[in-house]
Amino acid sequence: MAREQIISPMPGVVIEIQASAQMAIRKGQSLFVVEAMKMENTILSKVDGVVQEILVKQGDVIRKGQPLLTYQKAAPQAVTSEEENKVDINAIRPDLQALRDRRQFLEDGARPEAVAKREAKGQQTARQNLAMLCDEGTFREYGALAVAAQRNRRSEEDLIKNTPADGLVCGMASINRDLFENQAQNCAVMAYDYTVLAGTQGMYNHYKMDRLLGVAAKKRLPVVLFAEGGGGRPGDVDVQTVAGLHIMTFYEFAKLDGVVPRISIVSGYCFAGNAALAGASDIIIATENTSIGMGGPAMVEGGGLGRFHPKEIGPAGSQEANGVIDVLVKDEKAAIQAAKQYLAYFQGHLNSYEVADQRLLRQMIPLNRKRVFDIRELIGVLADKDSVFELGNGTAQSMFTGLIRIEGHAIGVLANDAQHDAGAITSAGAAKAVRLLKLCQNFGIPFLSLVDTPGIMVGPEAEKSGTVKHAAELFKIGAKLTVPTFAVVLRRAYGLGAMAMTGGSFHAPDFIVSWPSGEFGAMGLEGAIKLGYRKELEAITDPIERKATYEKMLAMAYERGKATNIAAYLEIDEVIDPIDTRAWIATGLQDKRGISS
């Protein structure tokens, strides 16, 4: 049979010869190893045959196209050794085993004492929280092998064992894909690990967070942060800094404002830098055992302000009342469920939903025009079932703010609550409303206003809270809204307060309708009569006659300002049967401006 040659496909140096004269070779068998550009390349046989002569020796410098050996072709070998051809796909290489050994220190089981302390406090670990938040099997961790920047004062073994991931578990994951027909809903997720140096902010976990925030900005991904922790960490000595105020984490996190939804979950102690990140989020969901403060006990004492237990600094009750905490829940499990529900409003519409019997709405407003009613019950009937998510329940209670769904679409809701301050717009209520409107505008969520207000709160005490500025902010944000906006007057719509509730004017929303119970005026009817007709009423000396005259004037004013009359002057678009409210909103939603799908 004719002799053939094996030709080198590249230049290089022969560093290994695996064939010999008279050796039978198979197609695909390795014959030579050639080093080129610091890389080792294997030259394989392309046929079955028998080696005749080796033409090079180890160490030779060869050129591309140079013959390496000669051989005679042979018939394909019918039988090959099973050992030679079989690849054990279950085999664990040494490098993979080394990685596995290293990653064992990341698991909660590697630090049972630390985990036991969390359990004793009734709290979950960072990894347990992320496992509950993220869709199963979707979490991809960034920077897992980082350790604290303390190699100059601690051994590598100590750092690997006791500072896994440098106290920040973070990465990408899908959340809520079960709600959206199993389509991936990717998010950036980050959890400070309180079992590692009290969840403090180390140099490497700052780098990790900066990296992840950059990816979130680039891909427009929502961010969920478990913010528990003690703030900056002074013990990181490997990185040369003086004050460390040049780090970019807070800047990068704040830069995402209005770009992607950002949710902070807080359980336990959250101070200083951790609190700053939580406060910069769109929403803080906290547990009852939470304390949030811009400085922890050490910083407070260092400032000469006294000694306090962490629980005394920004406890959950006070932080809910002042509006720092948007949603207060019992524990981390409830917080995670709340975060998933909130996040879903920004992820798209739901194709499946249930609706309460809308006839219930007809009975919601009392016939007695002065009797209060439960606005939350009304919203619960109007919205898709189980879709109401209230924000700031513990503060500015005369103003309801939250998110609901109508026919599966997310909508922001602003509503007056007459059970508190008669539904008047207070300074705190206005600030709370502005936050919701900015949220809707930033993320393209339609907005619904349910109006039942006597106006903006007045009086010396009201003015001490800065009502003039805060109330005016409602007009300013209302004038900038480009998302679909709808207004429904439930009962009272008086003065500047009613205008502020509807974007600055009754003709600012895409539609404004009223239920039959609606009543309107430049100010409250009672006040308007007493002020406008003071002289006439004071001229009537008989108290009984004076009261009868007042009641007659009030009835006339009410008749003039009732919904059907104001609609006749086209100051509102229509008076509707309450059961038609959802239909009006659904029609408005057909305008797709701003609706995220």
- DSSP characters for 415-433? EE-TTTGGG-B-HHHHHHH
Higher per-residue pLDDT: 565 or 83: 565
Cβ burial, residue 214 (10 Å; 0-12/13-18/19+): middle
Query: How far apart (Å, rounded) are the C-alpha atoms in residues 175 and 344?
Result: 9
Lowest mean pLDDT among 36-40, 85-89, 415-419, 443-447: 85-89
Q: For residues 80-87, give the mean pLDDT.
A: 54
Q: Give all domains of the chain, ordered by start, each with its CATH number.
A: 3-77 (2.40.50.100), 96-344 (3.90.226.10), 358-518+562-589 (3.90.226.10)
The per-residue pLDDT for 182 is: 83
**Phi/psi of residue 25, each to 5°?**
-125, 155
- DSSP characters for 214-249? HHHHHHT--EEEE--B--B-TT--SS--SS-TT--H
- pLDDT tens, residue by residue, 337-351: 999 999 999 999 999
Lowest mean pLDDT among 57-71, 82-96, 327-341: 82-96
- pLDDT tens, residue by residue, 132-148: 999 999 999 999 999 99
Q: Is the pLDDT of residue 179 over 90?
A: yes
The per-residue pLDDT for 597 is: 39
Q: Is the pLDDT of residue 75 over 80?
A: no
Mean pLDDT estimate for the chain = 91
Q: Is the pLDDT of residue 109 over 60?
A: yes
Burial track 134-152 (b if 16+ CB lie within 10 A, e otherwise)? bbeebbebbbbebbbbbee
Query: How far apart (Å, rounded) are the C-alpha atoms in residues 310 and 315?
Result: 9
Q: For residues 508-514, give the mean pLDDT.
A: 97
- DSSP characters for 94-154? HHHHHHHHHHGGGSGGG-HHHHHHHHHTT---HHHHHHHHSPTT--EEESTT---S-TTTS
Q: Is the pLDDT of residue 523 over 90?
A: no
The per-residue pLDDT for 222 is: 97
Lowest mean pLDDT among 150-154, 335-339, 514-518, 575-579: 150-154
**Phi/psi of residue 12, each to 5°?**
160, -160
Q: For residues 76-92, give the mean pLDDT.
A: 64
Q: Is the pLDDT of residue 118 over 70?
A: yes
- pLDDT tens, residue by residue, 389-436: 999 999 999 999 999 999 999 999 999 999 999 999 999 999 999 999
Band (595; pLDDT cuts 50, 70, 90)? very low
- Structure-token pair, residue 376: 């939350």
Smallest Cα–Cα separation from 515: which of 431, 434, 576, 436? 576
Rg of the chain taking only CA atoms, in angstroms: 35
Smallest Cα–Cα separation from 414: which of 398, 430, 400? 400
Band (592; pLDDT cuts 50, 70, 90)? low
The per-residue pLDDT for 2 is: 56
Query: Cβ contacts of residue 348 below 8 Å, gap of 6+?
Result: 180, 596, 597
Query: How far apart (Å, rounded) are the C-alpha atoms in residues 293 and 291?
Result: 7
**Phi/psi of residue 412, each to 5°?**
-80, 140
Q: Is the pLDDT of residue 300 over 80?
A: yes
Do 589 and 561 contact (CB within 8 A), yes or no?
no
Query: Cβ contacts of residue 425 below 8 Å, gap of 6+?
Result: 398, 399, 416, 433, 453, 455, 456, 457, 471, 474, 497, 500, 501
The per-residue pLDDT for 184 is: 83
Query: How far apart (Å, rounded) are the C-alpha atoms in residues 41 and 18?
Result: 13
Helix H or strand E segment including 527: helix 525-532
The per-residue pLDDT for 85 is: 54
Query: How far apart (Å, rounded) are the C-alpha atoms in residues 81 and 86?
Result: 9
- pLDDT tens, residue by residue, 189-242: 999 999 999 999 999 999 999 999 999 999 999 999 999 999 988 888 888 777
Q: Is the pLDDT of residue 82 over 50?
A: no
Higher per-residue pLDDT: 85 or 276: 276
Asked whether the whole model's pTM tops 0.75, one would answer yes
Query: How far apart (Å, rounded) are the C-alpha atoms in residues 333 and 98?
Result: 35
The per-residue pLDDT for 596 is: 43
Band (353; pLDDT cuts 50, 70, 90)? very high
3-state secondary structure of 211: helix
* Eight-class DSSP state of 195: T
Higher per-residue pLDDT: 543 or 425: 425
